[in-house]
Structure 1
Amino acid sequence: MEFHLKENGMRIDFDYGELSISGNEDYGFRPFQLMVASIAGCSGSVFRKILEKQRIEVDDLQINAEVERNPEEANRIERISLKYIIKGPRLDPERLYKNLEISRKNCSMIRSVEDSIKIEESIETIELSG
């Protein structure tokens, strides 16, 4: 990856577009937002693949992230709470939690930060008739 210095941050060009990064939200994504997005995106993608392999029907999967930062330590991310909201027919919460444990073990982003950031996960199911 090649990053380029801009007046108000950094820029990186990917095949699918440009990403601007800045400590000022007016000029790009803030670094902590990208870290949280990487963790939620990785976890959600791995979780979805596991559900597909097990043929668990999911109509929608949404992840809400709450972030706790420590202003005493350069606004360090201390905790990320990920809430998975799953909509579908015949959802088994116990089976979903077991699959979430498997996804956690296979998510490279969570594994990379789990010794320095507390990652909490919960599931809310919304049962749809089907």
Structure 2
Amino acid sequence: MKYSMTEHGFRTETQFGTLDVSANDEYGFRPYQLMVSSIAVCSGGVLRKVLDKMRMPAEDITIEVKDLYRNPDEADRIERIHLHFTIKGDVNESKMPRVMELTKKNCSMVRSVENSIDVKETYEITK
């Protein structure tokens, strides 16, 4: 990837279009938003694959960032993220602790930040 400076941040072209990144959310995605999105969506994608492999495919998964703490004393460093998954489908509740363990173990983004950001993952199942 190659980023070029703009008046208000940086820009890159991806196969899906232009991505503008800026410290000012009027001009693009803020870097922390992209980091949180990467962690959340990676976890959701792995969760989906684990459920599929355990023969409990989800009809739908939504991810809510319930808590995000950025330390103002350390350059607004992200220190804590709480991801809450709402899973719609015929999922065996007794298998969910293992599903969540495998999700955390196999998400490359969570693993990349595991000693610097506390990532908490909770879930609920709906029919």
Gaps in structure 1 of 5+ consecutive residues: none
Aligned to 1:56: 56
Cα drift, residue 98 of structure 1: 1.0
Q: Which moved more, 1:98-107 or 1:31-40?
A: 98-107
Gaps in structure 2 of 5+ consecutive residues: none
Structure 2: distance between partners of 1:19 and 1:55: 36
Which consecutive aligned stretches of 4+ in structure 1 deviate over 6 angstroms post-superposition?
none
**Match runs of 1:1-130 below 5 Å:** 1-65=1-65, 66-89=67-90, 91-126=91-126, 128=127
Letter in 2 for 1:34: L
TM-score normalised by length of structure 2: 0.94
Q: What SS does the aligned partner of 1:97 have?
A: helix
Cα drift, residue 57 of structure 1: 3.2
Cα drift, residue 94 of structure 1: 3.0
Cα drift, residue 97 of structure 1: 2.5
Identical aligned residues as a percent: 47
Structure 2: distance between partners of 1:78 and 1:102: 22
Cα drift, residue 124 of structure 1: 1.1
Cα drift, residue 116 of structure 1: 0.3
Q: How many residues align?
A: 126
TM-score normalised by length of structure 1: 0.92
Cα drift, residue 93 of structure 1: 2.4
Structure 1: distance between partners of 2:94 and 2:118: 22
Instruction: Give yes or no for contact 1:97–1:123 (8 Å, CA) kept in 2.
Output: no
Structure 2: distance between partners of 1:40 and 1:97: 18
